[in-house]
A and B are shown apart, each in its own frame.
Chain A
């Protein structure tokens, strides 16, 4: 079991708020790793640092043995790290299919985009396969803005997948969607994981996390508190304390 993705001693503060403090985190290749913790514990900031949206004050991020600290988001994605956002972000005024096609280029040079059409037949096929996988194929030609919230979550998952990243960071995939859809999303994640995809999941739905994840890291006040298999983490007194005992709300909310 090798480490695919890791963050070492990452520190980041926004003005007076220390969002991350010496936070370390690692993901084993082929695993589903959960990242949990109270609101404001720095989970989303850690995602932002890994994917290049936020520059850390200190610390480093490694992917596949390469240092990717401070890489821009497009480069991080081109290397094979895909992510979704907590507040689902899709391209509302273009069609569902075109949303998929935006992601298919991955590491193509920007000059190439000037001279080629929107999609090749193979890209179109893989985009349709991706939509089919999440059950959105019948809506391919609809404007993405007309999708419901749950459908947007599925679309976001599908277009991140279509570029074939090695690891996918999901920020609250089960947040704000109904139980049927939560189960559907869990089922898709498990199916993809069987094919060898690695996942990192930030989620407040404990049942979802405990059921899916091989390993869980608990964050508290910007630092990693405990890491281990779900059963072990759940019983850890430090975790119980962080979730139930300590007053954490004064940290503010890092989740954007």
Chain B
């Protein structure tokens, strides 16, 4: 089973690595870059929100922080557009972590619904700041140094950097899942007060998770800014982004490693493809809405969990005749 799983991950990685070699249509490559960015963000978001149960709906604040870090630094350092700008991607991630530290210090003092509302409110503070400050170019946005790559080749470097961010996000998320720290986040999700009474230092643990989760989101934001060439407050700090990554994680499987990857892969690529196909209509919204409704109705825990349970049930039926295989333990 472990070997099978490792094989599947490797196969997926090989497919993703070869994708731009096989698919040469720039439109599809562009879709792939966006899809990878969302895969990284949804995985990262799930690493905190999925494990701890604290549903944050303001992560675009960190995406935008990464984007503006990339834009402002590349402009003020007078960089000539090119591969050297990729070094600013992790800097964007670190800037997002600093932002998340301050946001977390405020937002993580409250729980559940209040937390959700506070994260949304803080997100709008970030957006309004970007719109209203001179330094950020206000609502006319910022133009980054021009990247002079050929159109047929333009997306490829972005694709591999985005894939790199996805790998970092997956590795981080799985390391967290295996660590004591990850176990503490899961304990907080199930019963925060009980965890506190068993010596879990809940506030620092939550804050560390929140900050760690913003790293890859900030990196994706930095890459986005460079990819777009120019950024505007309403797109760098996009409320749709907040909801999208949460939806992707729920769609694939909230709190699982694979779920957000799958959710982002399906939803983002589908959305981009439908937008491309039905360019002047909003038909894609109807199709995507129908798909979401279907999954939520029939697989409320997400696709991954649904398939896992279906698999377990199937193998149980295949191996045992007695339906009551689970031991019932002591008494009562």
Contact = CB atoms under 8 A, between A and B. Distances in A.
A178 interface: yes
A235 interface: no
B194 interface: yes
Contacts of A160: 198
**Residue picked from B181, B183, B328, most chain A C-beta under 10 Å:** B183
Contacts of B186: 91, 93-94, 98
Given A116-B180, A118-B180, A90 B194 contact: yes
A94 B201 CA distance: 19
Nearest to B208: A114
8 contacts: A72-B196, A74-B198, A90-B191, A94-B183, A110-B184, A111-B204, A114-B208, A138-B329
Interface in A154-188: 154, 159-160, 163, 177-178, 180-181, 184
Contact of A74 (B178, B202, B326): B202
B181 A114 contact: yes
Contact of A91 (B194, B196, B205, B327): B194
A92 B187 CA distance: 9
Which of A90, A102, A136, A160 gathers most chain B CB within 10 Å?
A: A102
B179 A113 contact: yes
Contacts of A146: 326
B254 to A, nearest CB: 11
A235 to B, nearest CB: 34
B198 A117 contact: no
Size class of B's contact patch?
20 to 34
Interface of A: 51, 53, 72-74, 77-78, 83, 85, 89-94, 98, 101-103, 105-119, 135-136, 138-139, 142, 146-151, 154, 159-160, 163, 177-178, 180-181, 184
Contacts of B182: 118
A53 B198 contact: no
Contact of B201 (A74, A90, A180): A74
Contacts of A139: 327, 329
A151 B194 contact: no
B258 interface: no
B331 A181 contact: yes
A51 B194 CA distance: 11
Given A105-B200, A178-B332, 11 more contacts: A51-B197, A73-B197, A74-B196, A74-B197, A74-B199, A91-B186, A110-B204, A117-B178, A118-B179, A135-B329, A148-B331
B46 to A, nearest CB: 15
A139 B183 CA distance: 19
Interface of B: 178-184, 186-187, 189-191, 193-202, 204-205, 208, 326-332
Nearest 9 interchain pairs by C-beta: A150-B332, A91-B190, A113-B180, A113-B181, A110-B201, A110-B204, A89-B194, A103-B198, A77-B199
Contacts of A119: 180
Contacts of B183: 94, 98, 101-102, 118
B332 A102 contact: no
Nearest to A151: B329
Given A98-B183, A105-B180, A107-B199, A150 B194 contact: no
Nearest to A98: B183
Contact of A115 (B179, B189, B201, B205): B179
